[in-house]
Amino acid sequence: MSTFFLLLILLFGFLITFQIAKASEYVGVIRGEKKNFEQHNRINGFLMIVFLVLGLIGVYWCNELFKGRILGESASKHGEEIDKMLYITIAITGVVFVITQVLLFWFAYKYQYSEKRKAHYFPHDNRLEVIWTVVPAIALTVLVGFGLFYWFRITGDAPQDALQIEVTGKQFGWIFRYPGHDQVFGKKYYQNISDKDNNQLGLIWDDAAAHDDVVVNNEMYCVVNRPVKLIIGSRDVIHDVGLAYFRQKMDAVPGTPTTLWFTPKFTTEEMKKKLNNPDFVYEISCDQMCGKGHYTMRGVITVVTNEEYHLWLAKQKPNYAMVMQDKAPAAPAAPAAGPVADSTKTTAKN
């Protein structure tokens, strides 16, 4: 109902504007074309200045109103650098925006048509061409350099003690896999995928390394102040792992594992207090249109202390044990201390 009234208001607004324009046109005919042109020119020049002032005030007001309210402080250490890069970009482009907009609207007002002034024909100036080509090129090169530097840090090698989690997108949800006691991900094969047999990732049960892997849906646990490496893939179409609070995103591509890593700064409980929101959760969203249920593809990331994480993991049942109750592995699911094997080398079938 509210949408209908909004459309009705817009329609009435259009009709009123149209009638005012027609009335102004008739008045112009009565008063003469030249006088009408001069009057319109003065009005438009004045409105340019009004729009400039109100527009800049609106930009400033929106910035003050929404600054820090949408996402708030970055929840990862990588995110701090991403925010810094964005602030540098906004500062540079903001200065250019203000200068160009002030000149644009001020010139439209100051140099409006006048019989006492003849327009100067100014077709070309090599010096100006060089300035407005070279200066933006240098500025953009610096910004792109910052972006590449941070990108390679995000997608580069994670620390040896990083917690490894495999993230797999599917229409329309997320599957997370944790290595078990051996700290090695078991092999998998896409033809083994079977939701009916509770083998969502196509794990190869003949591989002993797969027997203690823990598979969970739509909720990922990680440890505060400990690096976490995500090994990302998809079992159907292209998805995209979007971690807004951690300032991270990475495509999930079928058959081509991608990786990223970050270090969470705050637990979920700490963020609830910081944002004064008892219902707060870290979200993992799909940032790539992937089908009609794309909008429902949402997961939860729970950041906890190291003790809470090990307690949670100890309660999880390995996927192999769920499928083959009579062949459950003797090894516990809780991980042992020590370096984690690089799982990106073990996810394809030999």
CATH number for the domain that contains residue 248 = 2.60.40.420
The Cα 220–Cα 298 span in angstroms is 12
Query: pTM to 2 decimals?
Result: 0.72
DSSP β-ladder status, 163-170 and 228-234: parallel
Residues 235 and 335 in one domain: yes
* Residue 118, domain member (yes or no): no
Q: What is the pLDDT of residue 347?
A: 42
**Does one domain contain both 234 and 308?**
yes
Q: Are 263 and 196 in contact (CB under 8 A)?
A: no
Provide the pLDDT confidence category of residue 237 given band limits of 50, 70 and 90.
very high
- Percent of the chain with pLDDT strictly greater than 90: 41
Residues 187, 39: one domain?
no
The DSSP 8-state label assigned to residue 224 in this structure reads: T
Domain hosting 50: range is 11-113
**Does 191 lie in the same domain as 76?**
no
Distances (CA, A) of 90 to 35, 135, 143, 293: 44, 17, 11, 34
Query: Pairing state of beta strands 219-223 and 298-304?
Result: parallel
Q: Is the pLDDT of residue 124 over 70?
A: yes
Whether residue 107 has a cis bond before it, omega within 30° of 0:
no
- Find tokens 């997961």 and name the residue: 299
Quickly count: other Cβ atoms within 10 Å of residue 268's Cβ.
18
Best-predicted range by mean pLDDT among 67-76, 168-177, 192-201, 315-324?
168-177
Structure confidence at residue 338 (pLDDT) = 47
Q: Is residue 205 part of a domain?
A: yes
Cα separation of 115 and 331, whole Å?
A: 92
Query: What does each C-alpha distance from 233 to 85, 201, 252, 346, 350 come to in angstroms?
Result: 28, 10, 5, 14, 18
Q: Judge if 99 and 224 occupy the same domain.
A: no
pLDDT at position 241 is: 95
Strand order in the sheet with 258-262: 214-217, 173-178, 163-170, 228-234, 258-262
Asked whether residue 94 falls in the same domain as residue 186, the answer is no
Average of per-residue pLDDT across 84-108: 87
Which of 49, 80, 113 delimits the end of a domain? 113
What is the C-alpha separation between 61 and 54, in angstroms, rounded?
A: 10
Residue at which a domain ends, from 113, 146, 176: 113
Q: Is residue 155 part of a domain?
A: no
Residue 145, domain member (yes or no)? no
Question: Is 2 a domain residue?
Answer: no
Would you state the pLDDT for residue 12? 80
Residues 234-265 as b/e (b if ≥16 CB within 10 A, e otherwise) read bbebebbbbbbbbbbebbbbeeebbbbbbbbb
154 domain residue, yes or no: no
Whether residue 199 is found in the same domain as residue 289: yes
Domain count along the chain: 2
Q: Which two tokens stand for residue 66?
A: 């929404």
pLDDT at 295: 92
Q: Are residues 71 and 182 in the same domain?
A: no
pLDDT above 80 (res 38):
no
Do 237 and 328 sit in the same domain of this protein? Answer: yes
Give the whole-angstrom CA distance, residue 266 versus residue 245.
11
The helix/strand/coil state of 144 is helix
Residue 4 forms part of a structural domain: no
Tell whether 107 and 185 lie within a shared domain. no
135-184, pLDDT tens digit by residue?
889 988 988 888 888 778 777 888 988 999 999 999 999 999 999 888 89
* pLDDT at residue 51 tops 50: yes
Whether residue 156 lies inside any domain: the answer is no
Task: Note whether 190 and 73 are same-domain residues.
Answer: no
Do 89 and 193 sit in the same domain of this protein? no
